[in-house]
Structure 1
Amino acid sequence: MDEGRNTVPRRWTFAESGAGAAGPATATEATNTTEAEAVDFRVEQPARTFGDLVLADVVRRRVDTALNVVAHRDVLFKEWNLASISPHRGGAVVSLYGPPGTGKSACAEAIAHRLGRPYLRVSYAQIESRYVGETPKNIVRCFAEARRHDAVLVFDEADSILGRRLSRVTQSADHSVNVSRSVMLTELDHFDGVVVFTTNFPENYDVAFVRRILAHIRLELPDLAARRELWTKLLPKELPLHPEVTADVLADESEGMAGGDIVNVVMAAAAAAVARRGERRVVELADLRDELAATARARREVGNPPSSPRLVAWEDVPPLSSATGEGGGQQG
């Protein structure tokens, strides 16, 4: 294990095959170590690059600026003495936020490719544990793995991990939440690499995490030019298309759609076309329009509350007295 600032604090040291134990464990610790399932943090090589993505110029510039902290660390922290004002911040922490399907996860992978490093993707489900004390240990584990492989650490659904700490602790679960948040803060302060958080709900971040993030970068829904570029990229040249299908037409008819929506539209339209035979076994404009309409409707209705109250049971009807006066007449 490395000495100095990157050493895992002893109170969070964990025993694994090939790793030394921190010392004799209590009965409870031994039980948790035995029963708790080992978390498999897999380090992967990035396949997607910034050339594969359709991003606004401002997003690319903001990413480049954040990565300059890593590329020019010695100049910034030694020659220009930024270490005097931020002694523990040797790495770069980036938060990518915005509507679903705008390419946040793909952008995180492209950041790793730009740096020539592998990446380690972590979800809330991987680090959260039902065993007392295991969640903070899992947080330490993923940072240790990232250090060991010099990997970019990517946290998906980061709002679940970086949520606000609880000011009123009323049960052991509340205490565990606060401990986990504190451990995450400590690890971020002592990590020299690159961390990328992705989220659809940045408003749920604890303020202590907000100020530790170097760059907050919003990925917007694509405009007309970006949608045209997306359709051009996402219609494979091998996909048989009717001549009337063009990126220009589709870009005009897909306003409000994200890249992830367009992928789903192409997949569903191709699935409809492949069931046909003969000359009609091509993706027609009608196939794509049907799926665009279905996707637009789903964006309006699925996951959103209804625009007006719906009667689901007679018990939901307010008492008559609330709608009428004492004499039974309607109130004015």
Structure 2
Amino acid sequence: MRTKGGGPAGASRSRDGAQEGVNDEREPQFVPEKPRRSLDEVILPDAVRQRVELALDLVEHHTLLYDIWNLRSIDPYRRGTALNLYGPSGTGKSLCAEALAHRLGRPVINVDYAQIESKYVGETPKNIVRCFEVAREHGAVLVFDEADSILGSRLSRVSQSADHAVNVSRAVMLRQLDRFDGLVVFTTNFPRNYDAAFVRRILAHVRFELPDPETLHRLWQRLLPEALPRETGLDQGALAQESAGLAGGDLVNVITGAAAAAARRGGESGVVTAADLVAEIKNARRARAEVGRAPDPGMPADYTVRRLDSREVPPELRAPAVVEAEGAESPDAVTAEGAEPPDTAAPPAPAGSAGEAEA
């Protein structure tokens, strides 16, 4: 009898598996990797670096703190250490998480939401357990990027099976954190989305901030490769002043864009100039202002989009009738191009219809 799918037996098993709904997805591979960056390579403001070093002390001196100095008497259930690195995008959170593993001399396992989330019932909790098992087996540091997707609030009103599955996954993550005796690092741009139970289990929260002028200067010194052709006398201090408000990740994009412009020119003029860098800095700043939206601290964690008031829209982008109406004695007489006066207009849509759809 032939097997391995090349004959009747293999084909039969394949058909049976399809009919029985066997999970045909490949199991996620949580692969320990050697950290490539050291903590010395991470350029951070002094205040942030001090908090990172303190968080590292909690890991390196765990035995002293809990066993010899008996902090276990007031914190008896903590076995490992969980850290949370949060703050604006591009400020070095993921890079720092890798560097922490490098300092500890351990491999790192990077986990994202797509790796553990599964469409099959019960598979997501299994994937969570699996990534902790692999980390325990290899003595690796677990890093969860975009952790707000994994540590989000549990649902108090369970109305369908998907809601129940979310709560089960959160409960499994909580148990694994309690049982894991290694280091787990979470990174996020949206810390307000965390469930309170996870916040309590995380031993140290480190806020990453946009670089100050001195840090920007050091970033420019570090990020410009020696092999990159550039005009002589490039003033990195002036570049630091020009790029105020940008993050290290933005500077990487700035340098890459300027290098591409130099490559396009080619020849003797194919060097990165201050003009190239300033142009890309302006593009990066414009993108931060116009593309995407950072969460407003005053808004609920699950609502970060709002409709603009008409007065916030530049005149050149508004309908002509709206602009004309601003100078009229009765600004409510015309509210949009082609709209009827209030007394004849159609009644407003009930709250929660159009507004919510647009949001």
Identical-pair percentage: 57
Partners in 2 of 1:316 and 1:111 — Cα distance?
55
Answering whether residue 203 of structure 2 is matched by residue 183 of structure 1, we say no
Answering whether residue 311 of structure 2 is matched by residue 322 of structure 1, we say no
Residue of structure 2 aligned with 1:165, choices 146, 154, 159? 154
Identify the residue that residue 289 of structure 2 maps to in structure 1.
300
Taking structure 2 as the reference length, the TM-score comes to: 0.77
CA shift, 1:311, in A, is 6.1
Instruction: Give SS of 1:44's match.
Output: coil
Partners in 1 of 2:343 and 2:79 — Cα distance?
64
Of 152-161 and 59-68, deviating more is 59-68
CA RMSD of aligned residues (A): 2.5
Residue of structure 1 aligned with 2:49, choices 60, 72, 90? 60
CA shift, 1:127, in A, is 0.5
Determine if contact 1:95/1:216 at 8 Å carries over to the other structure: yes
**Mapping of residues 158-237 of structure 1, within 5 Å:** 158-237=147-226
Instruction: Give SS of 2:201's match.
Output: coil
Answering whether residue 112 of structure 2 is matched by residue 123 of structure 1, we say yes
5+ residue gaps, structure 1, are 1-26, 326-332
User: Counterpart amino acid of 1:222?
Assistant: P
Answering whether residue 24 of structure 2 is matched by residue 35 of structure 1, we say yes
Instruction: Give SS of 1:129's match.
Output: coil
Identify the residue that residue 142 of structure 1 maps to in structure 2.
131
Determine if contact 2:116/2:127 at 8 Å carries over to the other structure: yes
Identify the residue that residue 11 of structure 2 maps to in structure 1.
none
Identify the residue that residue 253 of structure 2 maps to in structure 1.
264
Partners in 2 of 1:187 and 1:47 — Cα distance?
27
Partners in 1 of 2:174 and 2:342 — Cα distance?
51
Partners in 1 of 2:61 and 2:234 — Cα distance?
47
Report how many residues are paired: 297
User: Counterpart amino acid of 2:236?
Assistant: A
Instruction: Give SS of 2:85's match.
Output: strand
Partners in 1 of 2:52 and 2:281 — Cα distance?
31
Partners in 2 of 1:74 and 1:97 — Cα distance?
26
Determine if contact 1:69/1:91 at 8 Å carries over to the other structure: no
CA shift, 1:47, in A, is 0.7
Partners in 1 of 2:226 and 2:341 — Cα distance?
67
Instruction: Give SS of 1:121's match.
Output: strand
Partners in 1 of 2:266 and 2:61 — Cα distance?
58
Determine if contact 2:82/2:201 at 8 Å carries over to the other structure: yes
Deviation per CA, 1:48-67: give whole Å up to 9, x if none: 11111111223222222223
CA shift, 1:244, in A, is 4.2
Partners in 2 of 1:156 and 1:135 — Cα distance?
17
Q: Name the structure, 1 or 2, with higher relative contact order (CA <8 Å, separation 6+).
A: 1
Partners in 1 of 2:102 and 2:338 — Cα distance?
59
Instruction: Give SS of 1:154's match.
Output: strand
Identify the residue that residue 59 of structure 2 maps to in structure 1.
70
Instruction: Give SS of 1:196's match.
Output: strand
Determine if contact 2:28/2:127 at 8 Å carries over to the other structure: yes
User: Counterpart amino acid of 2:342?
Assistant: S
**Mapping of residues 70-89 of structure 1, within 5 Å:** 70-89=59-78
Determine if contact 2:45/2:212 at 8 Å carries over to the other structure: no
User: Counterpart amino acid of 2:47?
Assistant: V
